[in-house]
A = this chain, B = another copy of it.
Amino acid sequence: MATTQEVLAAMLARDSFTEWLGITIDEHRDGYCRLHYTIRPEMLNGFGIAHGGILFSAADSAFAFACNADGQLTVALDVTISFVKTATAGDVLSVEAREVHKGNKTGFYDITISNQHGDLIALFKGTGYRTGRNIVGE
């Protein structure tokens, strides 16, 4: 059985898009992940604010790190995101993912995004489907 650290290392080793996002993981354990990243000019949309996909993506990475931390491959099934406040270039966003409930086949996670002033930026709620397969060593 892989440790939480081994699972994260295996996931990060090949995660090109998370790398592009410039994410730093601050805390990671079973069912939990906290990370931060900085909004860059190439992450903006036509209105000069962070593209919705940029907010979603970092939350989705945190969700993946939290729900796969037990070593069992879990894939996102349904996700809801609510956009509360805009972010722009230079903003440092913190993302916190926590497990609400984990069953045999499914897991439910809440992820929040806030900025450097503590303002809520977006709310993300994800349902993962647990495949029963191991991430490391299969």
In the complex formed, the residue of B with least CB distance to A17 is B51
Bound complex: CA A105 to CA B77 (Å): 11
Contact partner of A127 among B14, B73, B77, CB < 8 A? B77
In the complex formed, the residue of B with least CB distance to A89 is B16
Q: How many protomers of this protein does the assembly include? A: 4
Q: How many residues of chain A get a CB closer than 8 Å to chain B's CBs?
A: 53
Q: Does A93 contact B (CB under 8 A)?
A: no
B79 touches A77 (CB 8 A): no
B106 touches A120 (CB 8 A): no
Contact partner of A43 among B16, B47, B75, CB < 8 A? B16
B103 touches A84 (CB 8 A): yes
B14 touches A48 (CB 8 A): yes
